[in-house]
Chain A
Amino acid sequence: QQQVKQSPQSLIVQKGGISIINCAYENTAFDYFPWYQQFPGKGPALLIAIRPDVSEKKEGRFTISFNKSAKQFSLHIMDSQPGDSATYFCAASRDQGGKLIFGQGTELSVKP
């Protein structure tokens, strides 16, 4: 019930294409769903986050789609760029933050 399952494990996209990463969860008590971006040898940094009272949140080229009934959420990166090449982690938590449960990560490579 505490797991967050993330797919795919790795993703290769051409420059200008759309990158899509999916996550699924079981615990209906989760109420905060962030996405983190991590470059090699660095700590993760928050990219975008959503709460379950909305179905979509967009910030620039990054969009979270949230499906509460299916207990799934996804990250869409529009017009993907080589600089977006990184590892992306979804996560979930209760009580609007605090202890985060992370997905396994997706290594994105954007080819020029």
Chain B
Amino acid sequence: DGGITQSPKYLFRKEGQNVTLSCEQNLNHDAMYWYRQDPGQGLRLIYYSQIVNDFQKGDIAEGYSVSREKKESFPLTVTSAQKNPTAFYLCASSIWPNGGEQFFGPGTRLTVL
């Protein structure tokens, strides 16, 4: 059963704590992406990676970090430097180049208490 999995589905964090969101894909896609979704603002790109051991900042990378040690995995760390981290986080993947369709995971809802 191919697809993208994200865990956990819900995550609660205290202010000042770092937290890592998991994203795994078994679609054999080269490219992976992290988006943040807030009401009325669409999806905003945080980081993306086209190949293993390489990644680029998106439009709102401040306060976030990523790694891409394996093709299948692209974890996102929300650091304490992110001023307003409460949001719905979506991971996606696509072929590269000529990526076309991006396939999205089910998302992680992060709430900072």
Interface residues of chain A, those whose CB is within 8 Å of chain B, are 6, 9, 32, 34, 36, 41-46, 49, 89, 93, 95-100, 102-105
Interface residues of chain B, those whose CB is within 8 Å of chain A, are 4, 31, 33, 35, 40-45, 48, 50, 58, 90, 92, 94-107
Cβ of A102 and Cβ of B42 under 8 Å apart?
Answer: yes
Cβ of B107 and Cβ of A98 under 8 Å apart?
Answer: no
Query: Do A98 and B97 form a contact, CB below 8 Å, given A44-B43, A103-B42?
Result: yes
Closest to B95 in A: A97
Measured CB to CB, the closest approach of chain B to A30, in angstroms, equals: 14
Measured CB to CB, the closest approach of chain A to B96, in angstroms, equals: 7
Cβ of B100 and Cβ of A43 under 8 Å apart?
Answer: no
State the CA gap A100–B101 with chains docked (Å). Answer: 10
Interface-central residue, A6, A41, A42, A99, by most chain B CB under 10 Å: A99
State the CA gap A45–B43 with chains docked (Å). Answer: 13
Measured CB to CB, the closest approach of chain B to A69, in angstroms, equals: 25
Cβ of A44 and Cβ of B104 under 8 Å apart?
Answer: yes
Cβ of A104 and Cβ of B98 under 8 Å apart?
Answer: no
Closest to A10 in B: B40
Measured CB to CB, the closest approach of chain B to A81, in angstroms, equals: 23
Question: Which B residues touch A34, using CB under 8 A?
Answer: 101
Cβ of A99 and Cβ of B45 under 8 Å apart?
Answer: yes
Interface-central residue, A96, A97, A102, by most chain B CB under 10 Å: A97
Closest to B9 in A: A41
Cβ of B41 and Cβ of A98 under 8 Å apart?
Answer: no
A-B contact pairs, 28 of them (CB 8 A): A41-B107, A42-B107, A43-B92, A43-B107, A45-B104, A46-B103, A49-B100, A49-B101, A89-B42, A89-B43, A93-B99, A95-B98, A96-B97, A97-B94, A97-B98, A97-B101, A98-B31, A98-B96, A98-B98, A98-B99, A99-B33, A99-B58, A100-B43, A102-B43, A102-B44, A103-B42, A104-B41, A105-B40
